[in-house]
Structure 1
Amino acid sequence: MSSKLIPSNPSDVMVIRNVTPNVATFSVPFARFGRIKVGGRGTLVKLTSGALAVFSPVALTDTAKAKVTEMGGDVRYIVALDFEHHIFVSEWAKAYPAAKIIGPQGLPEKRAKQQDDPKIGNEEFAVVFTKEKKSEIHISDEFDADFEYEYVDAHANLELVFFYKPERVLIEADLMFNLPATEQYSKVPKAEQPADGFLGKLFAGLQDSQGDARWIKRFNWFSIKDRASFDDSVRRIDQWDFATIIPCHGDVLEGNAKDTFRKVFEWHLKGSKN
């Protein structure tokens, strides 16, 4: 059940802040397998049209609703960034029923099999990205005016990556982690956090983009199922002029995000490992 994967007191531990004037984040604690502190994050963007889009939504707490209202209240797009980041789609869809739901192939079918989970409803997806037609898919004129997007179908979790052009912000889920999840655990008392055991330290080391990032490079390189397709996606994303990366797991990268992206995906950008 999804209830085992989310904090029992999201309003107490959620960190809400504006990364840019029109982009706000909702950062929460999340421990994979109950031990590995990776954190979770939803992102709310105000389009030039005034409409709002939420990516990888987290719990819709009263304070989260207040932030939505502060930014105009008109939620028109709810985006599940990959095959895993969808638990709160129904919660947001119920609150904002006019919103289009967007996600990768296979996710609607996955959710249909989880109807015994009270968090997951049977909402219809307005846009579903597929490998075969990903270059033909468009979300809407108002959305496309502000965003570039890439479906990284070669990633194990079927990643959707979005670039908010007006403020040069890249929004992604599991394409790139940036551990440790400092902000996401900043409101959790130390005594209540999972201990940094062997698995936690190992995974944090594998997903740390600092320094030469050699381990995150290796993790990415050996976890891709279709390297040629993945390389093509990474090269397309690299063409976008972003300065900030908002990942779902770990801290936001601000200022030099493009340099970090190129360091982490260096082998994919070159097309071969040195």
Structure 2
Amino acid sequence: MLEEFGENIWISAGDTVAVAGFHYPTRMAVIRLDGGDLMIWSPVKLQDDLRAQVDALGTVRHIVPPNALHHLSVAEWVAAYPQAKLYAPPGLRAKRKDLKFDEDLTDSPQQAWQGEVDQTIVTGNLITHEVVFFHRHSGTVLFTDLLQQFPEGWYRGWRGVVAKLDLMVAPEPAVPRKFRLAFVRRKEARQAVARILDWPAKRVLMAHGTPVTADAKAYLQRAFHWLTG
């Protein structure tokens, strides 16, 4: 079910997905651009009720997987909305040769949402290069996997121990340790994060974690202090 998150942005929880034995809650966002076109960020499984709610908001024109890990439901959205453009984050073209991508996501906003949604690619990481977005009307920064937080007790047994060590169940959303260790080119990452910290953020949204709706800029500075010093 869609839930309004801010001006011209809605969110919806998706199915839980299993990766390497760990179950992840998922979340997508719908951004309505000034002309009425819709941008689907990190699409989750397309259920009939979700589709009806999305269609009531406008016309889906842009389907955006933000990194090469978030692609499981992309094909069904492409099939449902053949008029929409599909955008490729770094690494996904090679991974999903079955999909026809229309544009590559770059370090600058696409023409279709220029002036409304900003973006930067956080590179230098061995796990994935993530495109982080900033929706200007709502002041929302959108992260996919770089920031995560799971409810206490979500994982049990040895998975619970691993999740705690990995900072997946920290008091507030954090960059998991595995991602921190995977930043082998930190200068590149710092440059991207510096750009993110310059955005006038009011709230922070992530695919796997509790949204931050207060003191967003201070939160982001805390979340990336380990990298920026």
TM-score bin (small chain)? 0.7 to 0.9
What's the counterpart of residue 149 of structure 1? 119
CA offsets per residue over residues 75-100 of structure 1, 9 Å max, x none? 11100110110111111111111111
Checking the alignment, whether the CA contact within 8 Å between 1:35 and 1:196 is kept in structure 2 is no
What's the counterpart of residue 207 of structure 1? 168
C-alpha displacement of 1:71: 1.1
C-alpha displacement of 1:138: 4.4
Structure-1-length-normalised TM-score: 0.74
C-alpha displacement of 1:43: 0.9
CA offsets per residue over residues 83-118 of structure 1, 9 Å max, x none? 110111111111111111112232112112xxxxxx
CA distance in 2, matches of 1:77, 1:199: 36
Q: How does 1:37-76 map to 2 (within 5 A)?
A: 37-72=23-58, 74-76=59-61
**Which has a greater percent of helix?**
1
Structure-2-length-normalised TM-score: 0.88
Q: Report the residue type matching 1:59 in the other structure.
A: K
CA distance in 2, matches of 1:241, 1:17: 23
Q: Give the direction of change, closer, same or farther, for the CA distance of 1:76–1:180 in structure 2 (3 Å limit).
A: same
C-alpha displacement of 1:198: 2.2
Structure 2, gaps ≥5 residues long: none
Q: Report the residue type matching 1:153 in the other structure.
A: T
Structure 1, gaps ≥5 residues long: 1-14, 113-121, 183-193
Q: How does 1:140-179 map to 2 (within 5 A)?
A: 140=111, 142-155=112-125, 156-179=127-150
Q: Give the direction of change, closer, same or farther, for the CA distance of 1:44–1:204 in structure 2 (3 Å limit).
A: farther
CA distance in 1, matches of 2:197, 2:158: 34
Of residues 62, 83, 86, the one that matches 1:98 is 83
CA distance in 1, matches of 2:211, 2:38: 20
Q: Does 1:124 align with 2:100?
A: yes
Checking the alignment, whether the CA contact within 8 Å between 1:39 and 1:181 is kept in structure 2 is no
CA distance in 1, matches of 2:199, 2:177: 24
What's the counterpart of residue 69 of structure 2? 84
Q: Report the residue type matching 1:234 in the other structure.
A: V
Q: Report the residue type matching 2:80 in the other structure.
A: A
Checking the alignment, whether the CA contact within 8 Å between 2:133 and 2:141 is kept in structure 1 is yes
Calculate the aligned-residue CA RMSD, in Å. Answer: 2.5
Q: Give the direction of change, closer, same or farther, for the CA distance of 1:181–1:109 in structure 2 (3 Å limit).
A: farther
What's the counterpart of residue 30 of structure 1? 16
Q: Give the direction of change, closer, same or farther, for the CA distance of 1:50–1:43 in structure 2 (3 Å limit).
A: same
CA distance in 2, matches of 1:255, 1:218: 24
SS at match of 2:2: strand
Q: Report the residue type matching 1:151 in the other structure.
A: I
Checking the alignment, whether the CA contact within 8 Å between 2:10 and 2:29 is kept in structure 1 is yes
The alignment of Structure 1 onto Structure 2 pairs a total of residues equal to: 227
